[in-house]
Chains A and B, each alone.
Chain A
């Protein structure tokens, strides 16, 4: 944590990229989402935040922190890697790096909130739901997305949305920043001329 505090500059925004949600914007959005979660949850004690790495991890931790601040509610935070559940593994030659999975408590009868940074096709959420079912039988599964880009390819809707960002061809949206914890400075940027695939490779940073 102390190392993060030293770093005052925050993430560098690449050339040609435009910030659509800065650090303050992200914090406000996650606070609003935390309020919405409380408002709509019948039994907040049963909530379980499950982050999809890497981008979902700092967001889920922030939401958990907000819930504690607002309602003195301690919500478990899990991390669920979806790589081994992807539907495109057999069609590609490259094997993506696996990421950490850490599910500290059981999902049975819990209301699981899957947290991802950017939701587009819905395929990652589909993979996450399959992965989740291997850990038990949640009472309900809901989805939190900081950014909804549209372009859905599967019948999946977000229950909590930070910001809708319709994008055109050749545009990409991603979360930049220190994926280490609450102190990391985050920003969501939109950029042109890079394929999604290339961006995914760039985004595959280590989580703390």
Chain B
């Protein structure tokens, strides 16, 4: 059973994920109506609490909340990732006094959404915390693959890029493994976390080997400025070795799909021709993101802890 909060894919089991994906399938239909709104969360308040900027994710949650008729409040609390945890919890308590029904939290430090969930009455959805998890991104990726391929079980999924710093990679690894896919990661050695294989994935430092027979290829965004020089010699060299283009994609299956959580660094993670030639799936990811967030909001927001207040 899906818990009170959604903090990570690690906490979900396969049945939970299937329930969310099935709910999202029905939510997608609402977006195709003339009136793209249902009254389900009328009178409920959704607070977006973002300590780290993310226009895409925040907008996606905002649209999802509004399609379900929730009142959406964006509480932007930009601060350095080194902000003292006391001040974060104070912010959370202040927020709690305003009686929100669901709070979406993004923070640059792993574990902050959990700490906020511990003090809040309202359920918390993690919208990305440090290098820990980004569960709704993984759910929308699972949803996109399941719609494109008709299944997830038995597929081979190759994640390419900065596995070490990526919460998207971590959440997707948990998600695809739980749904029965084979997961491979490919990156320059410093970007592969030690002991990653204990999670059940196969790690490759050769992109060609990692792509061999893949059904799904997922490129991660490279934070050029932060990483160049320390994790790989130069952006140009990264693009030459791990950047995806049509030539390298030949090693994957003919019908392989190419995904990217966005925004794409063109010419780095994806060549221009790939970003232009197969933009379909990447834009589907964005569209599916709204359906997934509607599903998650429907399933967890406004629920009261059973047995009254605690």
Contact = CB atoms under 8 A, between A and B. Distances in A.
A91 to B, nearest CB: 9
A134 B30 CA distance: 10
A95 B299 contact: yes
Interface size classification for chain A? 10 to 19
B26 A90 contact: no
Interface string A79-106: 0010011000110010101111100000
B39 A85 contact: yes
A85 B23 contact: no
A98 B298 CA distance: 10
Given A89-B40, A93-B304, A134 B35 contact: yes
Report which residue of A95, A99, A135 has the largest number of chain B beta carbons within 10 angstroms of its beta carbon.
A95
A101 B35 contact: no
B37 A134 contact: yes
A84 B304 contact: no
Contacts of A25: none
- 9 smallest CB-CB distances across A and B, nearest first, come from A98-B26, A84-B38, A134-B35, A84-B40, A95-B299, A93-B303, A101-B29, A98-B23, A93-B306
B237 interface: no
Interface in A112-150: 130-131, 134-136
B39 A97 contact: no
19 contacts: A81-B26, A84-B30, A84-B40, A85-B39, A85-B40, A90-B44, A93-B303, A93-B306, A95-B298, A95-B303, A98-B22, A98-B23, A98-B298, A99-B26, A101-B26, A130-B39, A134-B34, A135-B33, A135-B34
Interface of B: 19, 22-23, 26-27, 29-30, 33-35, 37-40, 43-44, 68, 298-299, 302-304, 306
Interface of A: 81, 84-85, 89-90, 93, 95, 97-101, 130-131, 134-136
Contact of A100 (B26, B39, B40, B44): B26
A134 B29 contact: no
A90 B35 contact: no
Given A84-B30, A85-B40, A135-B34, 9 more contacts: A84-B39, A93-B304, A95-B298, A98-B27, A99-B26, A101-B26, A134-B33, A134-B37, A135-B35
Contacts of B39: 84-85, 130
Contacts of B26: 81, 98-101
A53 to B, nearest CB: 11
Contacts of A101: 26, 29
B33 A90 contact: no
A90 B304 CA distance: 9
Contacts of A99: 26
A167 B66 CA distance: 41
A130 B19 CA distance: 26
Nearest to B38: A84
A90 B33 CA distance: 24
